[in-house]
Chains A and B, each alone.
Chain A
Amino acid sequence: MLTLLHWYTPLIRFYTLIGLLLITSTYGKAQNEIPSIHINVINSPLIEVLNEIATQGDLHFSYNPKKIRLDQKITYSANKPVKDILEDLMKIASLQYTYLEKQIILKPLKTRGKNTNKNTIIHGYIKDNNNGEALIGATIYVSELNTGTMTNAFGFYSIALPKGEYNLSYSFIGFEENHQIISLTNATNIDVELVEKPPILEEVVVVASAPQLVEEIQMSKSELQPKTVSEMPALFGEMDVIKSLEFVPGVKSHSDGSTFNYIRGGNRDQNMIMIDDAPIYNPSHMLGVFSTIIPDAINHIHLYKGDMPASMGGRLSSVIDIRTKNGNNKKLQAWGNTGLISSKLGLEGPIAKDKSSFLMSGRISHAKWLYQQKNENIQQFYFYDLTGKLNFNISPKDKLFISSYSGSDNYFENNSGVNWANTTGSIKWTHLFNNRIFLNTTIAGSSYQYFLHADIENNTKWKSRIANLNFKGDFTYFIRPQSVLTFGIAANGHNLNPGNLTSNDTKIQPPLVSIKNVVEGIAYINHEARVNDQWGVKYGLRFSSWNNQGASFEFEFDENHHVIDTLFFDLGENYNQYNNIEPRLGLSYFFNKNSALKFSYSRNVQNLHLITNSISPFTSLEVWLPSSINIKPQIANQVAIGYLKFYPNIGVSLTIEGYYKIMKNQIDYKTHAETLLNSIFEGELRFGTSNSYGAEFLLKKKEGRLRGWLGYTYARVKNTFPELNNGQPFNAFYDRPHEVNLILGYDITKRIHVGTNWTYYTGSPYSSPISFFNFNGLETPIYGQRNNSRLPDYHRMDISATLNLNRDLSKKFTHDLTLSFYNVYGRKNTLFINYNKTETENGDFRIPSNLLENSRTSSQFYLFRFTPSLTYNFRFL
């Protein structure tokens, strides 16, 4: 179509010129000659509507295609004279027309308000028409001023405009665009509810507006829709938010069976996972085979890869900002599913229609019966998640949100077992002061506890805990269109138990490991603005003050890491402080509305550190420690440059980003460090720097019959620790230069959807022996350079097919079946290579018992070859 338009452009211009010359003399007479026609279009481009009018009315349109958005979608139905239809369409499309001898000349509507300098405000919320859920990152576009804004994490927007008449376009991916014509004379509240697009089976969908990621100044940000997560094939059919992130360029997973992610060269504890502003410290179930976060109760997921907004921080490498649904405030609905491992059930609905709502969802595993086939002594074998949310519209200016999450794993057999639990809760109050100033006040708490029950009868257990309570106020000041100032303060309290053993058995006298307490103060300010049509800038500062507080005790170490003194601090005594300033800078150059070049610099500080020298993919007995006398804050400086291009004709966006990051005060460990029940474990830590750089490429198509993305990442990470590897740099475990991810979803029919993932990455570095020696009959490896070898390259393909079991898709009760295959071609992806086992007659690999025998062999261990699963989902609306 565009090609045709290109060839016809001279002709169109000719008609336009002729039309303009004759317009004034013939207009009045021509009005009476316009016939009646019938138009009925749903979500069709303007060009198609014009063609239809031209055909039925035997008319010709003349216009300059550079000035008129022919691709804007129109929904319109009428049977009346062309004149009336044209007048309706002109309002919708913000055009004006003149008529001349069957020629209709179209021009953009001149805005009367342009001459008025005084600004006034339009604000409101953009929601899903179906359930009242906030649409986060929805776009508001003012065509007359070629400007716009986006909704925040609560679906709120505010834009200051000169008084006048405007055509506003509200849009969000997957929803019909909404047009509003307003005459703006004073502050106006416009709440808009967008209608979800029905399933369409078009290969290519022309998308009118560029994605938010192109339009905003922020870079190094990825978004993931819960629907996308739901459509991806998943291990055992357990749809998983955290695991789906590993397909995003720049994010590297540990391996199969793990929820650990390594982002842009950062370690796995450098990612802040937040649910409604409350942190989650261990998002894993079954040691990491599954994550705690399922997409059903999620509204939106944003991943910031180092370039975090100033309002966010606390980790070096990323913030994963997860917002839960508010709950349907229009009607009651239930949903759920069941599979091999677990079942889920969710219920949401209005408390008072359109004013308040609730959401409850739960998941519980039912794998115990499977385990009992092998072991009758099993006492407990389950995990669960519970999510709840309450949402109240107190007044037009005030909203209250209360949300909670609780999840736990419990595995007990006979007299021992393990369990861990995450609990979070938050209360949010949003208040609109004066149409321009938005306040979000949050009180959030979070707790993660881990227990190793060694002897239940004697109540002997090892316990580790991290808990925090946060209070913060976030202000957003909408200064003018596309100029937003955010600022806020926060106060956090942290309490950490790095692991202590307690027992009723008086013979057990374990060492006492000091409890740690911290009070943290944070202030930030950030200004983000479009300077003109081409340039955008964001700059901000985040200040954090980290204060270690008694009651506690700390050790002083000499240069050989031997304890030379013990320091005791009283309750409430501030004994150590770290103040840090974290500047953030972003510059964007917008070539046009569909392409931009961006640059960012960010400095991030991390004061909570995961202490573990495990190289396992599974969560183990981990402890968290705060920055203190012996542990300095980790600091990262990252620069990134990116190019984003959106191709509206095919609905595809291209993102290319390069980054360089230096991380200081990184933590590693002395040889075979002892981190459990070691009161002086800080003496086991070694500190160094890490350098990472890389380039990320992403081609993404969000809409249409075929959806998905193709990502490629080139990334390197080198660590340098003066006391490790003879001070020589070495590859980090997650230094994997090449990674490719392909995610595809395809609607075969409106009832059948198929999806596939394919992933490839270079094998992870590990330390391979260079020779051996014998001691006490044990053949012991001798290592050379650290991480001197690599595991075999990893790749796998997953596929899934979902069949909607309803013939009539408009029914209130819908259900579907998903059949998925993980690792469909059965690749043996190596998890570990061992050199110390012997193969038994049964083909098992065991540690030799008899030290007089020499029959060790090299072996590899892998997980998840060709794992099928079947999941049944239902939804009652």
Chain B
Amino acid sequence: MKTVLAICISIIGLFTISCEERIDDRIIPEQTNLLIVEGIITNEKINHRVKLSLPHSTQNEVALPATNAVVAIISSDDDVTLLNESPVGSGEYYTDSIRAVYGKSYLLYIKYNETEYYAVDYSSAGQPLDSIHLTETIVNNLPLYSLKYEKSGTKPNYITYDINWEQTEYCTTNTIDCFGKLIYYDLKNIDVQEIYAPKKEAFLFPVRSRIIRKKYSISDKYQEFLRSLLSETEWRGGLFDVQRSNVPTNLSEGAIGFFAVSTVVTDTVIVGI
């Protein structure tokens, strides 16, 4: 598919003296009362997070947290788990150390500013991680690595890669520059927009970097949400954009985002070892 993309970009790009350039921000912000929900619980026995925030009107802005909300997760067995905001004022709400059980559905309840919101999702079966594939590149006589993305398994999923080389000799600058987080989505769709999506920035990391991979299974609704999300983010700006639209949600009216339940498979890789 990427080859097809390259061909098509070349058809246009080769002859056209085409160009992309920075422009002044054309966004005309409008006030909305939407609550943004980003929450997921998995089969991992950890403190799961639900993040509540408010829309921001300029790019790269840190979102304002939605604080002092009442948040709870209720399983299909009627087990109720209350979430606590931590730290207070952060808009991040955590469960106690619990795990989501495959086969069950979970309801997210939020009460914020006297308004109640709900969302439901169910866990789907996970699939094992395939072996990691890296590409080596020599930059300034140093071997650097990048992730080679390949489809994984037979069911829709996404894999997060938390990359850390803070403990290596290559982390000579600010330690914040020695971390990376990448996500590769494999939604098992054929989308023209994905096929012709714009190029991603190269991300290189040194030998002995530690990569924690987590493969998330996703429900049908979550897949639909992620497909729309990518359509408005990573896939937008290519040759075959689709009509811009708001991303759907599984939350009740007045809130956007998604509350997901997932089965996670994880592993850790040290690059070059």
Q: Mark A residues whose CB is within 8 Å of B.
A: 236, 257, 286-287, 289, 340-341, 367, 370-371, 374-375, 378, 381, 411-418, 452, 454, 462, 501, 613-616, 618, 620-621, 668-669, 671-674, 676-677, 766-784, 786, 788-789, 828, 832-840, 844-852, 854-867
Contact = CB atoms under 8 A, between A and B. Distances in A.
A257 B240 CA distance: 13
B241 A676 contact: no
Nearest to A772: B56
A417 B55 contact: no
Nearest to A839: B22
B196 interface: yes
A676 B183 contact: no
B242 to A, nearest CB: 5
B228 interface: yes
A778 B16 contact: no
Contact of A418 (B7, B200, B203): B7
A417 B12 contact: no
B273 interface: no
Contact of A857 (B53, B59, B231, B246): B59
B15 A370 contact: yes
Interface in B1-59: 1, 3-4, 6-8, 10-12, 14-30, 32, 34, 36, 38, 53, 55-59
Nearest to A840: B201
26 contacts: A236-B15, A287-B8, A341-B15, A370-B14, A614-B192, A671-B248, A672-B245, A770-B57, A771-B29, A771-B30, A772-B55, A773-B256, A773-B257, A774-B63, A776-B183, A781-B244, A828-B21, A835-B27, A835-B59, A837-B20, A845-B20, A848-B201, A849-B203, A858-B24, A859-B23, A860-B20
Contacts of A771: 29-30, 32, 55-57
Given A774-B53, A783-B244, A851 B229 contact: no
A369 B160 CA distance: 41
B26 A287 contact: no
A846 B197 CA distance: 10
Contact of A862 (B19, B34, B59, B191): B19
Contacts of B104: none
A594 to B, nearest CB: 45
B143 to A, nearest CB: 19
A620 B240 contact: yes
Contacts of B14: 367, 370-371, 374
B181 interface: yes
A398 to B, nearest CB: 46
A281 B258 CA distance: 41
Contacts of A414: 3
Nearest to A838: B201
Contacts of A668: 243
Given A769-B27, A860-B23, A287 B4 contact: no
B1 A773 contact: no
B232 A781 contact: yes
Nearest to A776: B183
B229 A782 contact: no
Given A621-B192, A677-B190, A413 B22 contact: no
Contact of B16 (A767, A836, A852, A864): A864
B227 interface: yes
Most buried by A among B193, B196, B201, B230: B201
A411 B7 contact: yes
A673 B227 CA distance: 10
Most buried by B among A374, A462, A773, A833: A773
Most buried by A among B6, B11, B22, B198: B11
A772 B59 contact: yes
B183 A851 contact: yes
A837 B229 CA distance: 15
B245 A846 contact: no
Most buried by B among A381, A462, A775: A775
Contacts of B179: 852
Nearest to A455: B1
A846 B201 CA distance: 5
A849 B204 CA distance: 10
Nearest to B228: A672
Interface string B180-208: 11110000011111011111111100000
A494 B225 CA distance: 36
Contact of B242 (A418, A672, A856): A672
B198 to A, nearest CB: 6
Interface size class of B (residues with CB under 8 A): 35 or more
B243 A615 contact: yes
Contact of B55 (A615, A766, A782): A782
B59 A620 contact: no
A417 to B, nearest CB: 7
A681 B245 CA distance: 18
A441 to B, nearest CB: 41
Contacts of A846: 198-202
Contacts of A671: 228, 245-248
B60 interface: yes
A720 to B, nearest CB: 16
A615 B231 CA distance: 13
B140 interface: no
B99 interface: no
A289 B257 CA distance: 39
A340 B14 CA distance: 12
Nearest to B247: A780
A770 B56 CA distance: 9
B234 interface: yes
A797 B61 CA distance: 40
A671 B22 CA distance: 28
Contact of B201 (A289, A340, A847, A866): A847
A454 B26 CA distance: 38
Contacts of A462: 190
Contacts of B182: 849-851
B236 interface: yes
A850 B181 contact: yes
A575 B202 CA distance: 54
Contacts of B190: 462, 501, 676-677
A873 to B, nearest CB: 20
Nearest to A774: B63
A608 B173 CA distance: 61
A462 B195 CA distance: 13
A129 to B, nearest CB: 41
B212 interface: no
B69 to A, nearest CB: 16
A866 B58 CA distance: 34
B27 A850 contact: no
Contact of B245 (A374, A411, A767): A767
B242 A773 contact: no
B4 A837 contact: no
B241 A616 contact: yes
B210 to A, nearest CB: 15
B141 interface: no
Given A676-B190, A774-B38, 20 more contacts: A257-B16, A289-B16, A340-B15, A412-B7, A418-B4, A454-B4, A614-B192, A618-B8, A672-B248, A676-B189, A770-B30, A781-B244, A828-B19, A833-B26, A847-B197, A849-B203, A856-B60, A863-B16, A863-B17, A864-B16
Nearest to B18: A863
A837 B32 contact: no
Contact of B192 (A676, A847, A867): A676
Contacts of A834: 20, 198, 236-237
Given A789-B28, A861-B18, A865-B19, A778 B234 contact: yes
A788 B27 CA distance: 11
B241 A615 contact: yes
B22 A778 contact: no
B17 A417 contact: no
B202 A413 contact: no
A614 B245 CA distance: 12
